Structure 1
């Protein structure tokens, strides 16, 4: 495995817990596209939400494999003398998975996990918005963390 890359579940969990967004790499008939999403993670599953209509929802509903990434602790490395020394220190996660739409109690649990991550507490939902919101579980089939120092 490449230097600075690990599959250690503890490292993966720490990075995902601290990440503010996950970028989903999706593909449809129009081609590839990448979208940032709010998310929560539990074990080997990412949870995301989306409107029930639109390109992102159609890709997620298709059940087609996707890729995801997140990065934390971004710090610019500078140099006065050599462009090759410019870059970033960071910790990141990259992985692949397959999405599935959630309903009923599973949907509510996913939304609660996402709310807890960002608000730090449970909150009520607007029923009209809930009706047009989809929630998805992305079962991570593989994931690696990279630490660049």
Structure 2
């Protein structure tokens, strides 16, 4: 596994080379929307913190939303040791999707969505010891930069109740759709265009039992897009 101490957890720099093009990840349809460089994958991962983990449990498919963090080589997933979805030893598929707008065309057939998405295949590996603690820091800092040094660190009991899985980013596929409808030659005279969708953090709401003011690293998120 990658040495976590040598990676940048929140904003990893792109590694040289293209994404893998295996039978599971090569672009078959809408190839013009495909992205092949690793930086495109990192851009999608930076823009969110919730993914969908697809696994097979007791012979049945299961897709579970969960938070993630990442560095230049691995995706890290977090959950309870009792979770059936956090399996290891078998291939899993993780997806991350961001909707940037509705594409409203002249014909219903050409309607669509502007989006950014990533699909990652790999065999999850459960972490322990220092690797587990460092991966939990990576995950925490990805969701809320500055929080790891501000809040209480997990104790032994909490760590024992937590599973952290690492999935290599070696096998991944990225697609991006942007721009206007593609039926400009349609003679039907109606409005066509894009209805953009944005997201931003709202002002923090303080827990009624908290006695401290909102810390600076949390305030910096207010109004910021994600």
Q: What's the TM-score once normalised by structure 1's chain length?
A: 0.89
The answer on whether the counterparts of 2:70 and 2:142 sit within 8 Å (CA) in structure 1 is no
Q: CA deviation at 1:94?
A: 1.1
RMSD of aligned residue pairs (Cα, Å)? 1.6
The answer on whether the counterparts of 2:121 and 2:171 sit within 8 Å (CA) in structure 1 is yes
Structure 1 match to 2:115: 90
Secondary structure of residue in 2 paired with 1:32: strand
Q: CA deviation at 1:52?
A: 0.5
Structure 2 match to 1:70: 96
The answer on whether the counterparts of 1:98 and 1:141 sit within 8 Å (CA) in structure 2 is no
The answer on whether the counterparts of 1:90 and 1:147 sit within 8 Å (CA) in structure 2 is yes
Structure 1 match to 2:79: 50
Q: CA deviation at 1:92?
A: 0.8
Aligned length: 145
| Structure 2 residue 150 is matched with structure 1 residue 125 | no
| Structure 2 residue 35 is matched with structure 1 residue 10 | no
CA deviations on 1:68-113 (whole Å, 9 max, x unpaired) are: 111124211124x421122200111112111000001000011101
| Structure 2 residue 166 is matched with structure 1 residue 137 | yes
The answer on whether the counterparts of 1:7 and 1:143 sit within 8 Å (CA) in structure 2 is no
Q: CA deviation at 1:124?
A: 2.0
Give me the whole-angstrom Cα distance separating, in 1, the residues matched to 2:83 and 2:40.
34
Structure with more strand by fraction? 1
Give me the whole-angstrom Cα distance separating, in 2, the residues matched to 1:66 and 1:141.
13
Structure 1 match to 2:141: 116
Q: CA deviation at 1:29?
A: 1.4
What 5-or-longer segments of structure 2 have no aligned partner? Answer: 1-26, 179-226
Q: CA deviation at 1:49?
A: 1.0
Give me the whole-angstrom Cα distance separating, in 2, the residues matched to 1:77 and 1:129.
45
Q: Which range is displaced more, 123-132 or 84-93?
A: 123-132
What 5-or-longer segments of structure 1 have no aligned partner? Answer: none
Secondary structure of residue in 1 paired with 2:82: coil
Q: Relative contact order, CA 8 A, sep 6+: which one is greater? A: 1
